[in-house]
């Protein structure tokens, strides 16, 4: 039987320290029924090593109460945000797709990338960026954005999502409600935006709404304070933004995952336990921890106490738990990586390399249209 803490754990994703699981990490993942792992450059060396790691991660499901596959996530956008190095295909930044303004190329880009991810055992990509680059000084987003035009971002991001879906990889649009106008990097401090609700709805939310209609399963929040919309809480912790704007205004029905809850934008202001509890109160479905080994347990402990104190309802925990299991059952069709020889034939496939090269050089690949 799955305990309440294990239900919270199923709706929690964590990072791991190295290129294989430690005994302590295995124990924590199994005992707390952790729902997913996010991989970073520190976890990846070669396709062979990564294949072994994703197999090792998925094997833990057999010791968990739900026996559900784990989500194995990665940041693979193209350009500077790319955890997988050669021999995996090296994809250009999304701006190159925006320059070509081709939905068919965007679709093929994501489908090809997703096929390589799926082959090696990664089933969730924290992509695409649906941020509009409205501030040219925004170096955090920069060429990660498809365009400076809301309509173009919506059209191309929707095509990217459809491409990931075709490949069998879950897409996660980010960073809701929009990170394109900031200067401060939320990894290090809290950006504060003075955009009005009217402008946000007319501009930033437009491409997100279009992307949601592409059957998007997951959206990631931004650690940004929109002071004219919610003067107290950053978007990740804002019930107004997540419940009223995301759910009601945008009509979004999928899962909401936080950005990394260890980022300085939040941790400079709040303790880990406060962040975890507030995130659930605000409407986050999946708690994401990436880099600090201690904070996931601190978050789980704080939620245990908040449940005991009746600050969080069991209904919210049960809802997140069921949403996570439903997502896995319906969308994770291939649990383990392909056999290594088969995966090796897909990784860095000549067709993918040719597509990447054409996009990077600003050309429409042969046989494709805009």
Q: Please, which residues bridge with residue 257 across strands?
A: 220, 286
* Closest C-alpha among 88, 2, 3, 4 to residue 280: 4
The active-site residue, picked from 75, 259, 260, 262, is 259
Separation in Å, CA 44 to CA 12, 16, 203, 255, 288:
22, 11, 38, 27, 19
d(CA 254, CA 337): 26
The active-site residue, picked from 149, 187, 189, 349, is 187
Q: How many other CB atoms are there within 10 angstroms of residue 61's CB atom? A: 17
Residue 51 and residue 340 in contact, taking contact as beta carbons nearer than 8 Å = yes
DSSP strand pairing (71-74 vs 124-125)? parallel
Tokens standing for residue 141: 């987003």
At residue 144, the 3 state secondary structure works out as helix
259: annotated active-site residue = yes
187: annotated active-site residue = yes
Query: What is the set of active-site residues?
Result: 187, 259
């Amino acid at each position: 039987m799955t305990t309440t803490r294990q239900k919270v754990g199923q709706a929690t994703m964590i990072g791991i320290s190295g290129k294989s699981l430690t005994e302590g990490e295995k124990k924590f993942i199994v005992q707390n029924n952790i729902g997913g792992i996010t991989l970073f450059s520190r976890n990846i060396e070669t396709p062979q090593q990564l294949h072994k790691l994703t197999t090792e991660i998925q094997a833990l499901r057999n010791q968990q109460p739900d026996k559900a596959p784990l989500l194995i996530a990665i940041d693979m956008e193209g350009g500077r945000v790319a955890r997988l190095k050669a021999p995996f295909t090296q994809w250009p930044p999304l701006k190159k797709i925006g320059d070509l303004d081709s939905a068919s190329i965007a679709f093929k880009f994501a489908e090809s990338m997703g096929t390589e991810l799926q082959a090696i055992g990664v089933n969730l990509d924290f992509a695409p960026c649906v941020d509009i680059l409205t501030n040219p000084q925004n170096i955090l987003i920069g060429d990660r954005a498809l365009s400076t035009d809301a309509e173009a971002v919506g059209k191309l991001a929707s095509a990217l999502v459809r491409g990931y879906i075709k490949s069998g990889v879950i897409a996660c649009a980010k960073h809701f409600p929009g990170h394109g106008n900031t200067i401060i990097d939320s990894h290090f401090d809290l950006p504060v935006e003075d955009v009005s609700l009217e402008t946000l709805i007319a501009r930033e939310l437009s491409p997100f709404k279009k992307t949601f209609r592409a059957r998007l399963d997951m959206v990631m929040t931004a650690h940004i304070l929109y002071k004219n919309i919610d003067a107290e809480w950053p978007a990740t912790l804002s019930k107004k933004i997540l419940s009223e704007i995301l759910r009601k205004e945008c009509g979004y029905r999928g899962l909401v995952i936080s950005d990394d809850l260890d980022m300085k934008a939040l941790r400079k202001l709040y303790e880990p336990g406060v962040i975890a509890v507030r995130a659930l109160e605000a409407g986050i479905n999946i708690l994401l921890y990436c880099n600090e080994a201690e904070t996931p347990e601190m978050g789980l402990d704080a939620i245990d106490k908040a449940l005991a104190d009746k600050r969080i309802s069991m209904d919210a925990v049960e809802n997140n738990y069921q949403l996570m299991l439903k997502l896995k059952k319906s969308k994770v069709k291939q649990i383990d990586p392909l056999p290594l020889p088969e995966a090796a034939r897909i990784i860095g496939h000549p067709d993918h390399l040719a597509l990447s090269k054409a996009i990077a050089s600003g050309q429409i690949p042969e046989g494709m249209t805009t």
